[in-house]
Homo-oligomer: A and B are copies of this chain.
């Protein structure tokens, strides 16, 4: 049984989502939360506040793997430094405990859970809510993103852990082995809604 902690790293808000999964592609919701620190707090203290919570989670939840968002320098310059600093702490703490860390780009995660690499935040939240059978959508977006990361990694492991190379995955791209669970669920959700979405029609 895989127990995956997804981490959407950040200084102001750091999303944490935990799912479990067996050999099938079925994923089970376990936990979601958003760690926060105030911009008025000195930087080393902010980093420690978020990091200490992650350290407690790793020791308490004993995950079999971490799914962490891969950060790029070309993202929003104002927040990317904090994102990179927290991601460094997450990798350090995980590696110190022998917990493997998988890195996924935002587009890889979107492509997996919505079937569409350029999906917006609302689409990701909708799919995460549906895939995990949640009564309400997880909020804020960082919480949904963390669960989406965990789901992405759980599916990756269910596929046998083959390398994920979906960075340029677009809505026309074929998925080896046919529809992903997300694509199937999305198609069903669309039929149910009874309307066509411009971006995907």
- A52 CA to B86 CA, complexed, in Å: 16
Task: Determine how many copies of this chain the complex contains.
Answer: 2
Residues of B with C-beta under 8 A to A78: 73
- How many residues in A have their beta carbons less than 8 Å from beta carbons of B? 29
Could you show 9 A-B contacts with beta carbons less than 8 Å apart?
A44-B91, A44-B101, A51-B88, A52-B96, A73-B77, A73-B80, A81-B84, A85-B85, A92-B92
Besides A73-B78, A89-B89, 18 other A-B contacts (C-beta < 8 A): A44-B94, A44-B95, A44-B101, A47-B91, A48-B91, A48-B95, A51-B96, A52-B96, A71-B81, A72-B81, A73-B73, A73-B81, A85-B87, A85-B88, A85-B91, A86-B88, A88-B88, A88-B89
